Amino acid sequence: MSPRGDPAGELRLRPGAPLPNIVSTRPAVARSLLRGLGVDLVPRLLGQLHALCGGAHELAARLALDAARGEAASANGAQRSALGLQAQREHLRRVWLDWPRLLGAESDITADTLGPLRDLWRQQAGADSAEQARLLRGWLAQHVFGVAPDHWLDRIASDRAGRLRDWLDRGATGPARWLAACRDRADELACDADPALPASVDATALAHWLGDWRDARQLPEAQWRGGPRETGCWTRADGAHAQANRARASHARAAGGHDVGAPPGVSAFDRILAKLEEIARLAAAPGLLAAAGHAVAPGIGVAWVETARGVLAHIAETDSAGRVLAYDIVSPTEWNFHPEGAAARALALLAPDATVAARDCALLAAAFDPCVAYVVEDADA
């Protein structure tokens, strides 16, 4: 929960209220800040402006502005590896800073909870990307998974329900203990999925966005016309739905449950766990994330970059003198907290009382991972 009036904006969540029950106060900073600036100033400025995923914003700006000049491009191998390392850093930042509080493991917070993470970042400072990746893999084995990240993934894949239960019950690392603290309640919270937003947005989708954007200069309202989508580590996980459903059905059968033939839904726990699974996948292959830019009209370029939270899009319009005429940024949070999306539907199922639902809202925040703070309001606010 955050104080009112956060200059970065916030999400106002109304548990138990009918849709729309999410209000965003995030300001469209790029629209006013960048108009009239020379394009050479924009990438670095946006990278410095965004405390979260600054490298991804800088890359997206470069690709969008190149595309506006007719120079479509994709991220090279070094840039993709850098994106992977940035995403892992952001994932770990959220795990260490937020999970003990959001997942109900406050008793596990100590004066030096962040010590291991600070040590990792000190070790990585000044190292090249290959050395950073090597240091990270060793650190993850010690502080997150208890084994090498790829070994942990193989174990989970071989017997998801049993191996995951054993890992949580041992509680040998902080993330295992924090997940164990929320397991029962988070597994009960339904968070069914929306269609995934593809990383590489096709020309039809771009035209759909930009037909409105060039007239009204309003995003994300333009893309919302096409209905809710979601993006992020959940949508990037190959077979995640099928794995979660098989594990849930197996657990129900073992417990003597009924109606296991119907495919069960996605839970908040499934989504929270997906963050750790992506950390492990990126440790093995940091170049998994992609970025690209395309020209969609003379002087107008769009770029998208995969980040920890999902697809980040930049849209730039420039003039012949190399100045910005209009600029917009669509963050993953705008997709994942769509007013009719999966997070909103999960919120509608909660108790219509801010105090009672505060714990569940915290679990939903961990599951959908907004890039701004949130406040919980009464349904009739």
Q: Which DSSP string do the residues of 165-222 spell out, in sequence order? A: HHHHHH--SHHHHHHHHHHHHHHHSB-PPPPBPPSS--HHHHHHHHHHHHHH--TTHH
**Contact at 8 Å (CB) between 375 and 204?**
no
For residue 302, tell me if it sits in a domain: no
State the pLDDT at residue 31: 82
Kindly provide the b/e burial profile for residues 133-165, where b requires at least 16 CB atoms within 10 angstroms of the residue's own CB: beebbebbbebbbbbbbbebbebbeeebbebbe
State the pLDDT at residue 258: 35
For residue 98, tell me if it sits in a domain: yes
State the pLDDT at residue 112: 86
For residue 339, tell me if it sits in a domain: no
Q: How many domains does the chain have?
A: 1
Per this entry, what is the length of the chain? 381
For residue 352, tell me if it sits in a domain: no
For residue 294, tell me if it sits in a domain: no
State the pLDDT at residue 262: 33
State the pLDDT at residue 3: 39
For residue 159, tell me if it sits in a domain: yes
State the pLDDT at residue 252: 42
Supply the angle between the helices 77-102 and 354-368 in degrees, to the nearest 10: 160
Q: Which domain holds residue 95?
A: 88-191+234-287
Name 316's Cβ contacts closer than 8 Å, sequence gap at least 6.
39, 42, 61, 64, 65, 67, 68, 300, 301, 302, 324, 326, 327
Residue 51 phi, psi (nearest 5): -65, -35
Distance of CA 55 to the CA centre of its chain: 15
Q: Taking the CB of residue 359, how many other CB atoms lie within 10 A of it? A: 14
For residue 212, tell me if it sits in a domain: no
Residue 28 phi, psi (nearest 5): -85, 75
**Contact at 8 Å (CB) between 128 and 206?**
no
Integer Cα distance of 353 and 363 in angstroms: 16
Type of residue found at 27 = P
For residue 15, tell me if it sits in a domain: no
Distance of CA 160 to the CA centre of its chain: 23
Q: Comparing 362 with 202, which gets the higher pLDDT?
A: 362
Q: Is the pLDDT of residue 50 over 70?
A: yes
Tell me the pLDDT band of 322, cut-offs 50, 70 and 90.
very high
Tell me the pLDDT band of 6, cut-offs 50, 70 and 90.
low
Angle at 145 between CA 360 and CA 134, to 5 degrees: 125
